[in-house]
Amino acid sequence: MAVVGDLVEVPSKKVGQAPREGVVVAVSGGLLRIRWSSGEESTLSPSMGSLMVVGRARARGAKKAAKKAAATAKKAATAKKSATAKKSATAKKAEPAPARTSATKAVAPKGPAGKPTSTPGKGSSKAKRRK
């Protein structure tokens, strides 16, 4: 269904005749109000295949307005990003450092099988066998 501002085309009924082109100026339920390129206006209730949406019509001076809107949107996005970055930097500074404990537990190193490794010498199984 066409919306306000769409460029529409109605195919001709006779061979060799150009199709009618116009811009949708109002939509009311299933009715479309169309301003034709000739300057006339009509109200249509389009059926399947009787109307083709060709594109989007632009008013005079719309290029400037579009550029201005794009620039404003870009500025807003940049401002939003910088505000988010400032918030995250502030949050990182405010985080307390983790508490350190003076007592640490000694952990034996583990080998490839996940079993604790032992070093030859005092208390090892090899040293016990030699005695």
Say which residues have a Cβ less than 8 Å from residue 55's Cβ, sequence separation at least 6: 6, 7
CATH topology of domain 6-56: SH3 type barrels. (2.30.30)
Tell me the pLDDT of the chain averaged across its residues.
Answer: 74
The fraction of the chain above a pLDDT of 90, given in percent, is 27
* pTM passes above 0.75: no
Task: Identify the residue with better confidence: 75 or 106.
Answer: 75
Tokens of 91: 């949050």
What are the pLDDT digits (tens) for 39-97? 999 999 988 888 999 988 765 555 555 666 666 767 766 766 666 666 666 656 656 66
Report which residue type is found at 112.
Answer: P
Beta bridge partners of 26: 33
Sorted by where each begins, the domain ranges of the chain are 6-56
pLDDT of amino acid 26: 93
Rounded to whole angstroms, the Cα distance separating 130 from 16 reads 112
Rounded to whole angstroms, the Cα distance separating 77 from 90 reads 20
Please choose, from the candidates 25, 26, 21, the residue with its C-alpha nearest in 3D space to the C-alpha of residue 8. 21
